[in-house]
Structure 1
Amino acid sequence: MKVTVERAQLLKSLGHVHRVVERRNTIPVLSNALMRAEGASLRLKATDLDIEVVETLPAEVATGGGITVPAHMIHDIVRKLPDGSQVQIETVGDKGTLAVRAGRSRFTLQTIPEGDFPDIAAGEMSHRFELPAGHLKRLIDKTQFAISTEETRYYLNGIYLHVVDKGGAAMLRAVATDGHRLAQVEFGAPEGAAGMPGVIVPRKTVAEVQRLVENPEESVTVELSTAKIRFRFGETVLTSKLIDGTFPDYARVIPAANDKVLTVEKGEFAAAVDRVSTVSSERGRAVKLSVADGRLTLSVTNPDSGSATEEIEVSYEADALDIGFNSRYLLDITGQIDGDTVELKLADPGSPTLIRDPAGPGALYVLMPMRV
């Protein structure tokens, strides 16, 4: 193999593929990225056996062929090369090494044969649809924070992507929950999504897809089956295994009868929660909300460090209520609100609270209260 590539393009492509490679691997070839030169392009591929990313970039190919090289090392080398340089990549003799040249720099890297590299992308996809990258990014951005990190409840370690019927209209919905809070976002299902199986997209895959959305206006092709999902962003293709589990019946925890409506200015509310939680304990993070007669009093009491209170004006016409929440969870949710106000629908101190964004239809959040 002998190929010449423009440094900026190579760096961008390596940036997309090398991230899926774990720093520590018991299987040596999984530390490597596959490089294959053919025609007028160079194809890069990396995998951790759960996710595979493939990217194709234009190149001057003198001799075709394929080899695998340490992914993080080749990325670091190209990153440190001078801007605007041409990078020449060439396999050397029978020693199984790869020479990388740019200007006066020369590197020789150990390789592993292409035949040892695994392929997880095979298999038929039963459903295929396209949607704007901005829509996909919104589904992820608004729900990702609620993904559980508890490995024993593995079926919560991702975003549940499925199609629902809402008033006769098909909606593509994303849901994530960790048992303490729930985030749900939806919009009109694109053509081809109808009848798709409900799938749980793993947390690491979600993070990689989020990074690959560079232009919200471009179109993303999504293909999926009951076992795998594939995202195509132009010349970049990410294929991932899905979480093999059953997502819980989340609709049961979304309250429908909460009749105490509290409307508060988002920025003022978030700043007040942040200030009073300064004295909260690292473990509890509990903040008490006392609401009555158009006023909300936020208070935190920590026996080890002291207490704090702050009062803000709100819109609230129901009976007085005291309720406690984890302050970090409150801030996570207010951080997803697009508009200037937040609407909290309350029931009683022991029941889940429904939080809506008046300016962001299609998104809702549920937060479980804490004892304070």
Structure 2
Amino acid sequence: MRIIIERSNLLKALGHVHRVVERRNTIPILSNVLLKSEEGALRLKATDLDIEVTERVVAIDEQPGATTVPAYLLYDIVRKLPDGSEVNLTTNEEGSQLVVSSGRSRFRLQCLPEIDFPDITTGVFSHSFKLPAAALARLIERTQFAISTEETRYYLNGIFFHTIESEGSLKLRAVATDGHRLARAEADAPSGSEGMPGIIVPRKTVSELQKLIGDADDESAVDVELSESKIRFTIGDVVITSKLIDGTFPDYQRVIPTGNDKALVLDRQSFAQAVDRVSTISSERGRAVKLAVSQGQLVLTVNSPDSGTATEELPVGYDADEIEIGFNARYLLDITSQLSGEESVFMLADPGSPTLIRDGGDSGTLYVLMPMRV
């Protein structure tokens, strides 16, 4: 194999694919990236057996071939080469080494054969549709923070995507929960998504997808193909294929309160800043913030046995019965950071029941937060 490629193009592609490679591997080939020459292009592929990312980049293909080399090592080498340089990738006759040369720099890397590299992309995809990149990014951003990190409840370690009839139209809905808070966002369901199975996309895949969408053009579309066990996203020249979480997502509709009748309307930014200030007194970010709500006024209080107390008052819109309720400070800040409108609405019931939070700037999202005892 002999290929000449622009350093910037190679670095960008390696940046996309090498992230899925685990730094510690018991299987040596999984530490490598597959390099394969195609007509006028170089295809790169990396996998951890759960996710696979491939990208095709323009290159001068002087001699066809394929090999695999350590992903992080190649990325570091290319990253340190001068801007604007050309990179030559050449395998020796035995195929045991890849020579990386650019200007006066020359590296010899140990290779493993292409035939040993795993492929997880086989299988039939039952549904396919296009989704605007901005819409998919919004669904992920609004819900990602609520993904559980508790490995025992593995079925909560991702975002649940499914279609649902809502207000007379079909919606694509994303839901994530860790048992303490729940985030739900929805967008108009694209053509082709009708009848799709409910799927749970793993946390690592969601994270990689978010980065790839961030690098893409805002006007671009994402091609989505899925089956009951796998999903594939195509964003420009990058393809990410992932196994889905094999489990049943809980019936989240049951935890979304419907009878909360005490509406607390507040300024999102002022509230978030106040929560951040009063929680400074606490040695633990997860300590409860007490919200004492009365006519037109909210008092936030944090008590710390070690440091003392902090209080702050805010003017709010509220005309129901007085109530005192506590929430995890970090969870409140996580949710308020996702809200886009100037005003937020907290629908309260009583100190022991979940609270419903609506975004004044985005009717397609809602959040549920479990209270803490204070």
TM-score, L = length of structure 2: 0.98
Aligned residue number for residue 289 of structure 1: 291
- CA deviations 1:41-81 (Å, max 9, x no partner) are 10000000000000000110110000000000000100000
1 CA distance for matches of 2:44 and 2:286?
A: 46
Unaligned runs of 5+ in 1: none
Aligned residue number for residue 276 of structure 2: 274
Aligned residue number for residue 311 of structure 1: 313
How far off is 1:231 after superposition?
Answer: 0.1
Aligned residue number for residue 125 of structure 2: 125
Partner SS for 2:362: coil
Aligned AA for 2:132?
A: P
Aligned residue number for residue 366 of structure 1: 368
Aligned residue number for residue 40 of structure 1: 40
Partner SS for 2:101: strand
Aligned AA for 2:52?
A: E
Q: Number of paired residues?
A: 372
How far off is 1:234 after superposition?
Answer: 1.1
2 CA distance for matches of 1:284 and 1:360?
A: 27
How far off is 1:98 after superposition?
Answer: 0.3
How far off is 1:290 after superposition?
Answer: 0.1
Tell me if the contact between 2:286 and 2:330 (Cα under 8 Å) persists in the aligned partners. Answer: no
2:221 to 216, 219, 222: 219
RMSD: 0.8
Unaligned runs of 5+ in 2: none
How far off is 1:232 after superposition?
Answer: 0.2
Tell me if the contact between 1:162 and 1:199 (Cα under 8 Å) persists in the aligned partners. Answer: yes
Tell me if the contact between 2:163 and 2:195 (Cα under 8 Å) persists in the aligned partners. Answer: yes
Tell me if the contact between 2:291 and 2:301 (Cα under 8 Å) persists in the aligned partners. Answer: yes
Partner SS for 1:142: helix
Tell me if the contact between 1:280 and 1:286 (Cα under 8 Å) persists in the aligned partners. Answer: no
1 CA distance for matches of 2:131 and 2:228?
A: 20
Q: How does 1:292-371 map to 2 (within 5 A)?
A: 292-371=294-373
Partner SS for 1:332: helix
Aligned residue number for residue 74 of structure 1: 74
Partner SS for 2:140: helix
Partner SS for 2:338: coil
Aligned AA for 1:266?
A: R
How far off is 1:217 after superposition?
Answer: 1.1
2 CA distance for matches of 1:132 and 1:187?
A: 10
- CA deviations 1:179-221 (Å, max 9, x no partner) are 0000000011000000000000000000000000122210100
How far off is 1:160 after superposition?
Answer: 0.1
TM-score, L = length of structure 1: 0.99
Q: Give the ranges of 4+ consecutive aligned residues of structure 1 lying more than 2 Å apart after TM superposition.
A: none
Q: How does 1:23-34 map to 2 (within 5 A)?
A: 23-34=23-34
Aligned AA for 1:72?
A: Y
Aligned residue number for residue 190 of structure 1: 190
The yes-or-no answer on 1:141 pairing with 2:135 is no
2 CA distance for matches of 1:271 and 1:57?
A: 45
1 CA distance for matches of 2:160 and 2:190?
A: 17
1 CA distance for matches of 2:95 and 2:207?
A: 38
- CA deviations 1:53-112 (Å, max 9, x no partner) are 000001101100000000000001000000000000000122600000011100000010
Aligned residue number for residue 238 of structure 2: 236
Identity %: 63
How far off is 1:33 after superposition?
Answer: 0.2
Aligned AA for 1:7?
A: R
Tell me if the contact between 2:223 and 2:233 (Cα under 8 Å) persists in the aligned partners. Answer: yes
Partner SS for 1:361: strand
Aligned AA for 1:298?
A: L
Tell me if the contact between 1:133 and 1:216 (Cα under 8 Å) persists in the aligned partners. Answer: yes
Aligned residue number for residue 90 of structure 1: 90
Aligned residue number for residue 16 of structure 1: 16
